[in-house]
């Protein structure tokens, strides 16, 4: 499964709204979410202008799952959605996040994050987790860059084609050594065990702000194995460099999450 597919499955955007006052050739929006903020339409137009400039689109654009969210910083809105860059029904929709800032007497300014590559897709996923909800984003204008999990520079290579012999049969591949287990990072301190024994050693709790994806591998690009509800109590089974924790129940390993997705981290 591609990074795009994992993002679309991990963060379904299902609210609906209707666009108005778009002009002669409005973008083809599907599932646009309504916002009580009177600047929502201006934010939508600013985001679409950035999309047109980035993708060099002159005609109508195919958009879906568009939502507008007020951010923690005043005079700032986040426009979250998906765009079909080719307009063909057999092409995928690519997620994007535009952070639109308003200043008195000036046109709104939009900073666009578009999942046009694997590295950008990982960045957009993190922006969606951080901003695509009312009250999201950094708490003040100075905290413009927030600490985020490390994004892998390379994705796993493609599986090589099977080795076919001269008589047309498949040759058995040579056995490969099992991958080395990740080393334990000493930088992450697990919470102490309460005196009353309320939590097991190594127990952690996920953030109460939103659900958290449990992935098959550390590093931000693994397949989503489970989605832990907000405020879930999990058992830590291992650690990996970059702040990744292997979690699950007491008797079962589910996968990996980043320590920034824990309560109080």
- Structural domain that includes position 240: 203-261
Question: Is 219 among the domain residues?
Answer: yes
- Does 215 lie in the same domain as 116? no
What is the three-state SS of 5-25? HHHHHHCCCCCCCCCCCCCCC
Alpha-carbon distances of 220 from 83, 180, 216, rounded to whole Å: 23, 19, 10
Q: Compute the distance between CA of residue 139 and CA of residue 28 in angstroms, rounded to an integer.
A: 33
- Does 115 lie in the same domain as 33? yes
Question: Is 127 among the domain residues?
Answer: yes
On the question of pLDDT at 19 being above 80, the answer is: no
pLDDT in tens, 46-57: 999 999 999 998
Task: Give the CATH number of the domain where residue 215 resides.
Answer: 2.30.30.40
pLDDT in tens, 222-256: 888 889 898 889 999 989 888 899 999 888 899 99
For residue 193, name the pLDDT band (cuts at 50, 70, 90).
Answer: very low
Q: State whether residue 203 is helix, strand or coil.
A: strand
- Does 224 lie in the same domain as 122? no
Q: State whether residue 118 is helix, strand or coil.
A: helix
Range from 8-22, 63-77, 90-104 carrying the lowest mean pLDDT: 8-22
- Does 35 lie in the same domain as 124? yes
| Cβ burial 74-90 (10 Å sphere, 16+ → b, else e) | eebbbbbbbbbbeeeee
Range from 28-32, 98-102, 193-197 carrying the lowest mean pLDDT: 193-197
Please count the other Cβ atoms lying within 10 Å of the Cβ belonging to residue 67.
23
Please count the other Cβ atoms lying within 10 Å of the Cβ belonging to residue 60.
13
For residue 30, name the pLDDT band (cuts at 50, 70, 90).
Answer: low
Question: Is 187 among the domain residues?
Answer: no
Domain boundary among 98, 115, 131: 131
For residue 76, name the pLDDT band (cuts at 50, 70, 90).
Answer: very high
Question: Is 67 among the domain residues?
Answer: yes
Domain boundary among 131, 146, 164: 131
- Does 14 lie in the same domain as 123? yes
What is the arithmetic mean of pLDDT over 12-38? 48
Sheet holding 28-30, edge to edge: 28-30, 62-70, 76-84, 94-101, 109-114
What is the arithmetic mean of pLDDT over 84-113? 90
Question: Is 198 among the domain residues?
Answer: no
Question: Is 234 among the domain residues?
Answer: yes
- Does 114 lie in the same domain as 29? yes
pLDDT of residue 38: 84
- Does 127 lie in the same domain as 207? no
Domain count, the chain: 2
| Cβ burial 25-46 (10 Å sphere, 16+ → b, else e) | eebebebbbebeeebbeebbbb
- Does 121 lie in the same domain as 209? no
What is the arithmetic mean of pLDDT over 126-140? 89
On the question of pLDDT at 259 being above 70, the answer is: yes
Question: Is 158 among the domain residues?
Answer: no
**Average pLDDT of the chain to the nearest whole number:** 75
Question: Is 44 among the domain residues?
Answer: yes
Residues near 173 by Cβ (< 8 Å), separated by ≥ 6? 162, 163
- Does 14 lie in the same domain as 97? yes
- Does 110 lie in the same domain as 13? yes
Residues near 104 by Cβ (< 8 Å), separated by ≥ 6? none
- Does 216 lie in the same domain as 111? no
Domain boundary among 68, 101, 131: 131
């Amino acid at each position: 499964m591609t990074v795009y597919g994992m993002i679309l499955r991990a963060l379904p955007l299902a609210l609906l709204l209707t666009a108005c006052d778009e002009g002669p050739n409005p973008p083809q929006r599907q599932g646009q979410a309504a916002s009580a903020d009177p600047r929502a339409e201006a934010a939508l137009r600013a985001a679409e202008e950035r999309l047109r400039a980035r993708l060099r689109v002159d005609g109508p654009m195919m958009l879906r799952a568009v939502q507008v969210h007020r951010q923690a910083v005043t005079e700032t809105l986040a426009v979250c959605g998906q765009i079909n860059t080719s307009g063909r029904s057999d092409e995928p929709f690519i997620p994007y996040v535009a952070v639109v800032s308003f200043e008195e007497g000036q046109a709104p300014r939009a900073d666009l994050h578009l999942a046009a590559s694997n590295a950008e897709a990982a960045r957009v996923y993190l922006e969606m987790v951080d901003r695509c909800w009312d009250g999201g984003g950094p708490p003040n204008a100075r905290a413009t860059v927030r600490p985020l999990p490390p994004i892998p520079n390379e994705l796993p290579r493609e599986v090589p084609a099977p080795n076919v012999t001269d008589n047309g049969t498949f040759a058995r591949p040579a056995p490969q050594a099992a991958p080395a287990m990740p080393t334990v990072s000493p930088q992450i301190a697990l919470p102490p065990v309460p005196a009353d024994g309320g939590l097991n050693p190594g127990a952690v709790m996920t953030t109460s702000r939103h659900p958290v994806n449990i992935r098959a591998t550390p590093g931000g690009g693994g397949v989503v194995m489970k989605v832990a509800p907000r405020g879930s109590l999990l058992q830590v089974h291992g650690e990996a460099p970059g702040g990744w924790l292997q979690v699950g129940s007491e008797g079962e390993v589910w996968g990996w999450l980043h320590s920034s997705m824990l309560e109080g981290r």
